[in-house]
């Protein structure tokens, strides 16, 4: 088992880090960007596109870079380090990933090329007010045949749903859950956008006899594609969280070194430094599991790990990150004291973002539940396939 | 980045699995699986089976029986051993005094001790801690005063006086390696020497300490005017603290008890399948199932962290993340012993039951093991010491 990056991967990491730390030099810059719709910065998005980052996971014939999960992980982690609000995981890994996995050759070329160039930002409209973390669609239904379909129902909250240039919508079809493309100007489409607590954006998206184009085979059940793509996005979210947790911890330790009370630095107090040590332990354990999940995903492309193994690895990563993110986020604020509560200071925003990621695509309890369902199938958990 | 083991490492893993599951005496493996105490003879038999195959001391220099293995291969050796219910080689010999003698001892002292140490022909005890020197080990007070007028070869003898404590399995010890104060006039770390003492010497007394699990695992060792030939000094006089730091820091493979904790959890899960009322499965209890699934995930994270640490350990220096492994490894080890008590439920009270009891053996041993393993977060540098190392060395938080 080898967790090391190669030199090209290190170069990618350094380039993305340089771009993002320049774009988000202070938390005030991020705060200003997230106050304005769409909640992220178009210039930064274009720069990411120019660097090739937005087409990273897509095949070259579809207009992408043909890179893999390791490169996606690197970018996601850098996004997390500065909690850049650009929707890399949501638009590229998740929504783009669905098109890559389910789309026809024409759809892939048309959509993914535009995503890679930064000109088209898609969103996956899946969560329904009553669906919790289920991967099936029930509240939005599709009817039609051939290329002529319409959708009815409500999706909410849809991350990035108001700004999206293209909606990829899951909807109930005969025998399962299908995927459909809906354009922003479609008849009977109502999008009501709002801000989320982490500076992001979400929307209520209502469909009323709204025309939609099947993604891939018309009327087919795409549950397997959804599950596989969601697993990839869960792992990428894990990396985004790692970046955020690392910064939250570093910010906290810097504060303990510099902030003085009773005439001495806070790091004089063992009650505080021991808690920082525990945060480090949480971070390193989460890093191990998330990095391993990426290795499991890497091996799926050669067929040496199965879809079920990837889904399980994603659940394991998401559970570990859920626990670590809560621990580190909560302690980062507590060890700062009052300043950590303020919107002007960075650390609270990190906790907010970690909380948002935790509740996207399944929180720790949800994934623990999934692991419980296969508890009796193995004697020990062996990290090797 | 790569998930799979190389073909070579995969073959190595298979080889280790086969060895440990076929070449170690079955009664030893059964005793470990039953979570019962091993006898001295069982521990010796197990080590000698490994040593006969040349794999008892892979961490030693090759010329003294070590193996030119990668850190990953040593990790695999250690994991497969534990998964097969094989006790790791006696740490006092294999991980403590052996590497110190090999690194700092004279040629003569190496030849005299290393082969017998590897084969457990000499059973070593550890004489470090004292009643007033626990985490603050350097404040130890056992003295060794050189008397140049006696002994063979004109080198003289040390006269040792003082008391050591927490000497694990000292009742079996043939020899004891000690830290003794040879210069009381300098800074406390600078006046300590590393001295080897024959436990059959006049003036050495071993007294048992009974622990909360009712067992006799540790001892007090008293020294009253014990005369020790000066040639039993390892390395240089007053350099003992450096050797002790080497000893305590040189192991990063096996710092965290991953394999044994995995195996015990697997055993607990199996036990749970019939431990419910009327023989039903406790895995159908959502709280039990969630706790076990969560522990499995935490142990996976620990194992993967251990793999990351061994992968980055080419320079041979202690990796600061070793403290993470020790801290989290012992927490999880304790959590699994605690789980076993909960699974045993009321049967956990039957710890003293003997023949004719209807209580399964695993339920009887659950609580003594739980109580016994409270030691894990105290020994080897308490978990608070590990937090201090993480905060200071890794995070740069120095009070």
**What is the separation of C-alpha B388 from the centre of its chain, rounded to a whole number of angstroms?**
21
Mean pLDDT estimate for chain A: 96
DSSP H helices, chain A, are 7-23, 27-35, 42-50, 69-81, 97-102, 105-117, 223-258, 270-300, 307-336, 347-358, 364-373
What is the per-residue pLDDT for A4?
A: 87
Mean pLDDT estimate for chain B: 93
Give the total residue count for chain B: 399
The answer to whether residue A1 is domain-embedded is no
What CATH code is carried by the domain that includes residue A208?
2.40.110.10
A9 CB neighbours in chain B (<8 A) are 1
Least confident of A71-85, A225-239, B297-311: B297-311
Instruction: For A217-233, write each residue's pLDDT tens digit.
Output: 999 999 999 999 999 99
Contacts for B280-288 with beta carbons within 8 Å, 24 or more apart?
Answer: B282/B343, B283/A375, B283/A376, B286/A372, B288/B342, B288/B343
- Residue B86: is its pLDDT beyond 70? yes
State the pLDDT confidence band at A1, using cuts at 50, 70 and 90: confident
* Domain extent at residue B62: 7-89
By the 8 A CB rule, do B51 and B57 touch? yes
- Residue B255: is its pLDDT beyond 80? no
Query: How would you class B358 by CB atoms within 10 Å of its CB: exposed for 0-12, middle for 13-18, buried for 19 or more?
Result: exposed
Distance from CA of B4 to the nearest CA of A (A): 6
Rounded to whole angstroms, how far apart are CA atoms B267 and B258?
14
Q: Which of B79, B304, B319 to mutate to test the interface with A (most CBs of A within 10 A)?
A: B304
| B398 touching A (Cβ < 8 Å) | yes
What is the per-residue pLDDT for B68?
A: 94
Residues A250 and A342 in one domain: yes
* Domain extent at residue A310: 223-377
The partner residue sitting opposite A267, judged by closest CB among B387, B390, B399, is B399
Task: Pick the last residue of a domain from A120, A141, A162.
Answer: A120
Q: Which of A294, A323, A372, A382 to mutate to test the interface with B (most CBs of B within 10 A)?
A: A372
What is the per-residue pLDDT for B248?
A: 79
Tokens of B194: 């590393």
Instruction: For B32-69, write each residue's pLDDT tens digit.
Output: 999 999 999 999 999 999 999 999 999 999 999 999 99
The answer to whether residue B15 is domain-embedded is yes
Rounded to whole angstroms, how far apart are CA atoms A54 and A121?
10
Q: Name the domain count of chain B.
A: 3
Task: Pick the last residue of a domain from A144, A179, A214.
Answer: A214
Per DSSP bridges, beta strands A176-182 and A189-195 are: unpaired
Residues B232 and B274 in one domain: no
Rounded to whole angstroms, how far apart are CA atoms A273 and B109?
44
State the pLDDT confidence band at A301, using cuts at 50, 70 and 90: confident
Buried b (16+ CB within 10 A) or exposed e, B101-115: bbbbbeeebbebbbe
Instruction: For A328-378, write each residue's pLDDT tens digit.
Output: 999 999 999 999 999 999 999 999 999 999 999 999 999 999 999 999 999
Residues A229 and A84 in one domain: no
What is the per-residue pLDDT for B311?
A: 75
Percent of chain B with pLDDT over 70: 96
CB A368 to CB B384 under 8 A? Answer: no
State the pLDDT confidence band at B257, using cuts at 50, 70 and 90: confident
Percent of chain A with pLDDT over 70: 100
Rounded to whole angstroms, how far apart are CA atoms B59 and A262?
49
Q: Is B251 considered catalytic here? A: yes
What CATH code is carried by the domain that includes residue B302?
1.20.140.10
Residues B325 and B214 in one domain: no
Distance from CA of B265 to the nearest CA of A (A): 8
| B70 touching A (Cβ < 8 Å) | no
Best CA proximity match to B197, nearest among B166, B224, B218, B216:
B224
State the pLDDT confidence band at B3, using cuts at 50, 70 and 90: confident
Q: Name the domain count of chain A.
A: 3
The partner residue sitting opposite B266, judged by closest CB among A5, A288, A380, is A380
């Amino acid at each position: 088992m080898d967790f090391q990056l190669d030199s090209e991967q290190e170069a990618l990491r350094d380039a993305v880090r340089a771009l993002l730390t320049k774009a988000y030099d202070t938390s005030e810059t991020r705060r200003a960007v997230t106050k304005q719709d769409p909640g992220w910065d178009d210039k930064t998005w274009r720069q990411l596109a120019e660097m090739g980052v937005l087409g990273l996971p897509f095949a070259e014939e579809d207009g992408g870079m043909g890179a893999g999960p390791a490169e996606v992980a690197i970018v996601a982690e850098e996004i997390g380090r500065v909690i850049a609000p650009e929707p890399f995981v949501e638009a590229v890994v998740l929504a783009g990933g669905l098109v890559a996995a389910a789309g026809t050759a024409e759809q892939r070329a048309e959509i993914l090329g535009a995503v890679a160039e930064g000109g088209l930002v898609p969103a996956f409209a899946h969560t329904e007010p009553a669906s919790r973390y289920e991967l099936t669609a029930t509240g939005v239904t599709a009817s039609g045949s051939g290329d002529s379909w319409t959708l009815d129902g409500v999706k909410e909250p849809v991350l990035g749903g108001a700004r999206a240039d293209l909606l990829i919508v899951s909807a109930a079809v005969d025998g399962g859950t299908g995927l459909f493309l809906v354009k922003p100007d479609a008849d009977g489409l109502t999008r009501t956008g709002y801000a989320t607590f982490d500076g992001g954006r979400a929307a209520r998206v209502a469909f009323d006899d709204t025309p939609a184009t099947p993604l891939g085979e018309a009327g087919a059940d795409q549950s397997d594609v959804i599950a596989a793509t969601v697993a990839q996005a869960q792992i990428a979210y894990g990396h985004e969280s790692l970046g955020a947790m690392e910064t939250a911890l570093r910010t906290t330790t810097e504060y303990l070194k510099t902030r003085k009370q009773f005439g001495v630095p806070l790091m004089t107090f063992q009650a505080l430094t021991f808690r920082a040590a525990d945060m480090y332990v949480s971070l390193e354990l989460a890093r191990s599991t998330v990095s391993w999940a990426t290795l499991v995903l890497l091996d799926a492309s050669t067929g040496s790990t199965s879809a079920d193994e990837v889904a399980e690895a994603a659940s394991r990563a998401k559970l570990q990150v859920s626990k670590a993110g809560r621990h580190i986020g909560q302690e980062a604020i507590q060890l700062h004291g009052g300043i950590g509560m303020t919107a002007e200071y960075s650390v609270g925003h990190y906790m907010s973002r970690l909380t948002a990621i935790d509740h996207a695509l399944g929180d720790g309890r949800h994934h623990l539940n999934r692991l419980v369902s296969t508890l009796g199938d193995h004697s020990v958990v062996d990290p090797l396939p | 980045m790569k998930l799979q083991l190389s073909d070579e490492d995969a073959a190595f893993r298979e080889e280790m699995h086969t060895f440990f599951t076929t070449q170690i005496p079955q009664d030893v493996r059964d005793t470990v699986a039953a979570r019962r105490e091993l006898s001295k003879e069982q521990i010796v038999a197990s080590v000698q089976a490994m040593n006969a195959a040349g794999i008892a001391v892979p961490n030693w220099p090759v010329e003294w029986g070590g193996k030119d293995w990668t850190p990953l291969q040593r990790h695999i050796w250690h994991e497969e051993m534990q998964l097969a219910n094989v006790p790791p080689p006696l740490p006092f010999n294999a991980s403590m005094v052996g590497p110190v003698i090999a690194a700092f001892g004279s040629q003569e002292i190496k030849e005299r001790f290393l082969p017998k140490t590897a084969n457990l022909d000499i059973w070593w005890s550890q004489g470090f801690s004292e009643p007033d020197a626990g985490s603050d080990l350097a404040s130890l007070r056992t003295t060794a005063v050189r008397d140049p007028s006696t002994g063979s070869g004109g080198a003289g003898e040390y006269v040792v006086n003082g008391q050591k404590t927490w000497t694990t399995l000292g009742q079996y010890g043939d020899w004891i390696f000690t830290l003794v104060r040879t210069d009381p006039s300098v800074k406390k770390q600078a006046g300590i020497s590393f001295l080897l003492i024959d436990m059959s010497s006049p003036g050495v007394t071993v007294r048992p300490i009974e622990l909360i699990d009712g067992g006799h695992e540790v001892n007090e060792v008293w020294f009253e005017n014990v005369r020790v030939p000066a040639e039993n000094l390892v390395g240089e006089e007053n350099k003992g603290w450096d050797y002790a730091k080497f000893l305590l820091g040189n192991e990063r493979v096996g710092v965290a008890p991953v394999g044994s904790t995995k195996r015990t959890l697997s055993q607990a899960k199996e036990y749970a399948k019939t431990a419910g009322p009327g023989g039903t499965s406790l895995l159908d209890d959502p709280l039990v199932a969630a706790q076990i699934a969560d522990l499995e995930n935490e142990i996976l994270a620990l194992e993967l962290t251990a793999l990351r640490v061994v992968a980055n350990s080419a320079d041979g220096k202690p990796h600061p993340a070793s403290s993470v492994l020790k801290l989290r490894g012992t927490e999880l080890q304790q959590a699994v012993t605690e789980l076993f008590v909960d699974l045993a439920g009321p049967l956990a009270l039957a710890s003293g039951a003997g023949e004719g009891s209807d209580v399964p053996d695993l339920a009887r041993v659950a609580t003594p093991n739980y109580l016994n393993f409270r030691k894990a977060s105290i020994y080897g540098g308490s978990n608070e010491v590990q937090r201090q190392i993480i905060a200071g060395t890794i995070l740069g938080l120095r009070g």
